[in-house]
Amino acid sequence: MKIRLLTILPAVLFAGLALFPYVSSGSDDGGLVTLRGAPIPESVTDSENALKKPIESLPMERDFTQQPPLVSHAVDNYPVTKNFNKCMDCHSWERYREAKATKVSQTHFKTSEGQDLANISPRRYFCLQCHVPQVDARPLVPNDYERAKSTR
């Protein structure tokens, strides 16, 4: 009897839940619209674009001193938001050993006045402003640029 009751109880509960009137979820696009109110169709991805295919290897050599090292992996869907910086999840000094990643340069622990900080300076927060994924990109303009001697 006890077992029977235990079986019936959730059943009654969920039958009630199923009857609970619920609204339709609407369209699948999540209600995204353009500024003029037109619906935004499914996202279009350009998979043939080489610029979207980062070269997953060791980082390419730098071409000039002070060049920010290139990112040697894809960064799709890596959030860099107010709450969380995915880059720092591997490249911070606390995390780089476990992640086997390059640690952030010490230059990033300074204010613009050169004062040393205990933490990474907030002005360095947006990594991808300087560090971009390395891709097989043709030079936009033909040129005979050569590496600085010191970086050869």
Partner 1 sequence: MNIKKILSSLLWIKLVGPVAVLSVFVLGILFWAGFNTAMDKTNTEEFCISCHEMKDTVYREYQSTIHYTNPSGVRATCPDCHVPQEFVPKMVAKVKASADLWHSVLGSIDTAEKFTAKRQLLAEREWRRMRANNSQECRNCHDTNSFDYGAQSYRAADQHLEGLEKGKICVDCHQGIAHQLPQIEQGISIVGGEGVAPETFHSAAPK
Binding site for partner 1 (CB under 8 A): 10-11, 13-15, 17-18, 20, 22-25, 30-31, 42-43, 56, 73-74, 77, 79, 81-85, 88-89, 92-94, 99-100, 117, 119-120, 122, 125
| Closer residue to partner 1, CB minimum distance, 18 or 140 | 18
Rounded distance between C-alpha atoms, residue 34 and residue 15, angstroms: 41
Minimum separation from the CB atom of position 141 to partner 1 (A): 32
| Closer residue to partner 1, CB minimum distance, 21 or 139 | 21
Rounded distance between C-alpha atoms, residue 63 and residue 32, angstroms: 42
Rounded distance between C-alpha atoms, residue 25 and residue 72, angstroms: 40
Half-sphere exposure of 141 (CA within 13 A, CB side): 3
Residue 18, Cβ density class (10 Å: 0-12 exposed, 13-18 middle, ≥19 buried): exposed
Minimum separation from the CB atom of position 108 to partner 1 (A): 10
Chain centre distance of CA 60: 20
Minimum separation from the CB atom of position 66 to partner 1 (A): 23
Closest by CA position to 112, among listed 96, 125, 123 = 123
| Closer residue to partner 1, CB minimum distance, 34 or 150 | 34
| Closer residue to partner 1, CB minimum distance, 13 or 60 | 13
Minimum separation from the CB atom of position 65 to partner 1 (A): 26
